[in-house]
Amino acid sequence: MGMTIAEKILAAKAGKDSVKPGELIMARIDVALANDVTAPLAIKAFEDVGAEDVFDRERIALVPDHFTPNKDIKAAQQAKMVREFAYKYWIKWYFEVGRVGIEHALLPEQGIVVPGDLVIGADSHTCTYGALGAFATGVGSTDLGCAMATGEVWLKVPYTLRFNIEGKKRPYVTGKDIILHIIGMIGVDGARYRAMEFGGSVIRELCMDERFTICNMAIEAGGKTGIIEPDDITKEYVKERAQREPVYYTSDEDASYEKVYDVDISNLEPVVALPHLPENVKPVREVNDIEIDQVVIGSCTNGRITDLRQAAEVLKGRKVHPRVRLIVIPATQKIWEQAMEEGLFKIFVEAGAAISCPTCGPCLGGHMGILAEGERAVATTNRNFVGRMGHPKSEVYLASPYVAAASAVAGRIAHPDEL
């Protein structure tokens, strides 16, 4: 019986010829990741198990991106603890403010994660790297701390759901709309414990940035990982970056899937996920009288150069609505530089937007744009839970960079066509 790409990677890392869904395995990891929120607990776990050294200083990434530049004294203490650990063990992939970016944009960009890897991260959006053809999944800090000591992790082999995305994309339809549409279709637990494998002609034509967006939000459907078989576009992306030799796995013809979804997106229009669950997905045109206070364009979901270009396309020559605050957050320093060189910042600033240094910031209600009671935001982020971006009585609407930019101009949730 054939195997899916997810099963092949897990089998290889468990040192087995094959694995089956439901099987518990001990697997070798290629990269272990933590951030300034999750690393302190992981470091504590690392110390508690009595480890004397990390398993491999070149395979650990510590990325202080959530509350940095340090938002308060407590955050500064946490960041300091991560820094001291990184120095003590000569961790190769530690990034200081000024070099740091949002972890899930940074690691692929720097070639720290490569196709064929097994990656665990103490952050739920670790599933993003599946877009490279890696098996990447979020774990807790204890898992991560133990893995930093041993280089291994216990995993249950997940069943795989296959999504064939076909049809012709309409204008302004992006990877974000596709993944929101799928989450709306199967629900926030529709892929619970499952690997979500995305394929079909639409995926094959998407650039890496939009593929990352899709895999990033697998967790919002409860998925263990999102994964896309590597192709020429993947190889092109990896070529100049890979820090290690990639291994390109694909699913066998006779691989067995728990379920196959055929999704035709020919009629899909830009969508928005209403509060307070990512599954509350509606076409933008059906919700366009909702007034907003803030727009955030950034995060590990949509803070890459493609996203900023899309936002700039809409904002060019236009002004942000007088009542609205638009905050643009490039996800990494490199993206920041690229956006600056391409003249995107001029467009943003002339429109009346604020541009931040790379940080998770408002995405998790950390800093740099917290919402007050009763305020509404359109965000290109991934979660619209109660209180996610600030006050428990504030609201977050999830959308693509096109829709976010159009909404910033209109002062209400808007389709770019309406401007």
Partner 1 sequence: MEIRGKAWKFGDHIDTDVIIPARYLNTSDPYELAAHCMEDADPEFVKKVSKGDIIVAGENFGCGSSREHAPIAIKYAGVSCVIAKSFARIFYRNAINTGLPIIEAPDAVDRIEEGDEIEVFLEEGKIINHTKKEEYSFEPLPEFMMKLLTSGGLIPFVRERLAKKGA
- Contact footprint for partner 1 (CB under 8 A): 24, 37-38, 40-41, 44-45, 48-51, 66-67, 71-72, 74-75, 78, 121-124, 126, 138-143, 146, 149-150, 154, 188-189, 192-193, 219, 222, 224, 277, 364-366, 383, 385-388, 392
Nearer to partner 1, 31 or 324 (CB): 31
Q: In terms of CB distance, is 141 or 359 closer to partner 1?
A: 141
For the bound state, the minimum distance from the C-beta of residue 291 to ligand SF4, rounded and expressed in Å, comes to 25
- For the bound state, the minimum distance from the C-beta of residue 97 to partner 1, rounded and expressed in Å, comes to 16
Q: How far is the CB of 66 from partner 1 (least distance, A)?
A: 8
Closest separation in Å from C-beta 336 to ligand SF4: 15
Paired tokens of 341: 């060189």
CB of 292 to partner 1, least distance (A): 21
Q: How far is the CB of 219 from ligand SF4 (least distance, A)?
A: 9
* N residues, the chain: 419
Task: Check if the beta carbon of residue 228 is closer than 8 Å to that of residue 134.
Answer: no
Q: Which of ligand SF4, partner 1, none does 134 bind, CB closer than 5 to 8 A by kind?
A: none
Closer residue to ligand SF4 in complex, CB, 129/159: 129
The smaller minimum CB distance to partner 1, of residues 276 and 309, is found at 276
Whichever of 123 and 269 has its CB closer to ligand SF4, that residue is 123
From the list partner 1, ligand SF4, none, partner contacted by residue 122 (C-beta under 5 to 8 A by kind): partner 1
Interface with ligand SF4 by CB under 6 A: which residues? 66, 102-104, 123, 125, 299-300, 360, 363-364, 381-382
Nearer to partner 1, 65 or 123 (CB): 123
102 binds, among partner 1, ligand SF4, none (CB under 5 to 8 A by kind): ligand SF4
Q: Which does 78 bind (CB under 5 to 8 A by kind): ligand SF4, partner 1, none?
A: partner 1
Nearer to ligand SF4, 104 or 325 (CB): 104
Can you tell me the distance from the alpha carbon of 96 to that of 232, in angstroms, rounded to the nearest whole number? 33
Instruction: State the minimum distance, in angstroms, from the CB of residue 62 to ligand SF4.
Output: 14
Binder of residue 193, out of partner 1, ligand SF4, none (CB less than 5 to 8 A by kind): partner 1
Minimum distance, C-beta of residue 378 to partner 1, in the bound complex (Å):
19
Residue 300 near which of partner 1, ligand SF4, none (CB within 5-8 Å, type-dependent): ligand SF4
Binds 381: which of ligand SF4, partner 1, none (CB < 5-8 Å by kind): ligand SF4
> Around Cβ 68, how many Cβ atoms within 10 Å?
26
In whole angstroms, the minimum distance from the beta carbon of 206 to ligand SF4 comes to: 20
Q: Which does 299 bind (CB under 5 to 8 A by kind): ligand SF4, partner 1, none?
A: ligand SF4
**Cβ nearer to ligand SF4, comparing 104 with 304:** 104
The region that residue 9 occupies, defined by phi over 0 for left and psi between -120 and 50 for alpha, beta otherwise, is alpha
| One-letter amino acid for residue 376 of the chain | R
**Cα 333 off chain centre by:** 17
Which of partner 1, ligand SF4, none does residue 117 bind (CB under 5 to 8 Å by kind)? none
> Helix/strand/coil (H, E, C) string of the chain?
CECCHHHHHHHHHHCCCCCCCCCEEEEECCEEEEECCCHHHHHHHHHHCCCCCCCCCCCEEEECCCCCCCCCHHHHHHHHHHHHHHHHCCCCEECCCCCCCCHHHHHHHCCCCCCCCEEEECCHHHHHHHHHCCEEEECCHHHHHHHHHHCEEEEECCCEEEEEEECCCCCCCCHHHHHHHHHHHHCCCCCCCCEEEEECHHHHHCCHHHHHHHHHHHHHHCCCEEECCCCHHHHHHHHCCCCCCCCCCCCCCCECCCEEEEEECCCCCCEEECCCCCCCEEEHHHCCCCECCEEEECHHHHCCHHHHHHHHHHHCCCCCCCCCEEEECCCCHHHHHHHHHCCHHHHHHHHCCEECCCCCHHHHCCCCCCECCCCEEEECCCCCCCCCCECCCCEEEECCHHHHHHHHHHCECCCHHHC
